[in-house]
């Protein structure tokens, strides 16, 4: 089969985006490791030395630090590794509307084909270039929880970095380098993470995907009426996004390692 110029260009762009996605995904892991190393081996010891904390408090700080970083890595890996067909088309609650023109698979409402992944995704939200994967029904909850725990980390360590920079008088040979690096990482990542987290919180609350949101904005621009057929009650919208059937399981889903 001979491909035309446009098809070749599309394949080239898709391969470039996929390669850049792998690099950005590795960078996310590297940033997490850097922040964990700085906090574990420098910020927490400096903070303990400057505040004269007891041994039990030091143990608690290190345990909490390890747990929250492990949670972020867990949600990041689950978001990337969870297969798209974890929820089959048979369990999808919508009727078929046709077949995908690209891959030939059954087409349902909220199902879209990703040109980078070259596959269809149930309840596709968007293709995340930083995680190098599609965000959809199979991993939406892991994506949201990754953002939630990541924002918690950068918020806590931003405060810790400030405390270390302010109260370091008791520490001999103190260096501003590592706390400043931690502060810079937390500030830059914190802003972007907060924006993404806020957007996803609103979208899930209204049972809307990013694709549907842009379609909604486009209709508003042309003064057209838009009705969200998927919107239910607030709790039901979150249960749909997290693919659970009760409020109790929804609360449990926010805990790390719950799916193990």
Active-site positions? 128
User: Among the residues of the chain, which ranges form H helices?
Assistant: 5-38, 44-51, 55-81, 140-166, 177-205, 210-221, 234-242, 247-253
In this structure, what token pair is assigned to residue 153? 């980390």
Exposure on the CB side of residue 124, measured as CA atoms within 13 A = 19
Q: Quick check: 231 and 237 in contact, CB under 8 A?
A: yes
DSSP lists the bridge partners of residue 133 as 128
**φ, ψ (nearest 5 deg) of residue 98:** 150, -155
Cα 101 off chain centre by: 29
């Amino acid at each position: 089969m001979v491909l035309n110029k446009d098809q070749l260009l599309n394949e080239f762009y898709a391969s470039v985006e996929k390669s850049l996605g792998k690099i950005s995904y590795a960078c996310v892991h590297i940033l997490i490791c850097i922040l964990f190393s700085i906090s574990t081996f420098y910020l927490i010891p400096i903070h303990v030395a400057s505040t004269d904390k007891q041994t039990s408090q030091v143990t608690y700080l290190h345990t909490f630090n390890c747990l929250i970083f492990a949670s972020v890595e867990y949600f990041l890996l689950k978001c990337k590794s969870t297969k798209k067909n974890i929820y089959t088309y048979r369990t999808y609650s919508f009727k078929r509307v046709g077949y995908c023109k690209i891959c030939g698979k059954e087409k349902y409402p909220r199902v879209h084909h990703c040109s980078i992944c070259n596959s269809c995704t149930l309840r596709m939200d968007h293709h995340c270039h930083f995680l190098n994967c599609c965000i959809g029904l199979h991993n939406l909850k892991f994506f949201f929880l990754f953002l939630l725990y990541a924002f918690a980390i950068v918020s806590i360590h931003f405060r810790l970095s400030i405390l270390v920079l302010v109260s370091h008088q008791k520490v001999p040979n103190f260096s501003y380098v590592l706390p400043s690096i931690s502060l810079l990482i937390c500030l830059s990542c914190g802003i972007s993470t907060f924006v993404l987290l806020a957007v996803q919180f609103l979208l899930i609350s209204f049972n809307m995907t990013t694709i549907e949101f842009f379609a909604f904005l486009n209709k508003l621009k042309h003064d057209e009426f838009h009705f969200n057929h998927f919107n239910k009650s607030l709790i039901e919208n979150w249960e749909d996004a997290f693919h659970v059937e009760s409020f109790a399981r929804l609360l449990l889903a926010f805990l790390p390692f719950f799916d193990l």
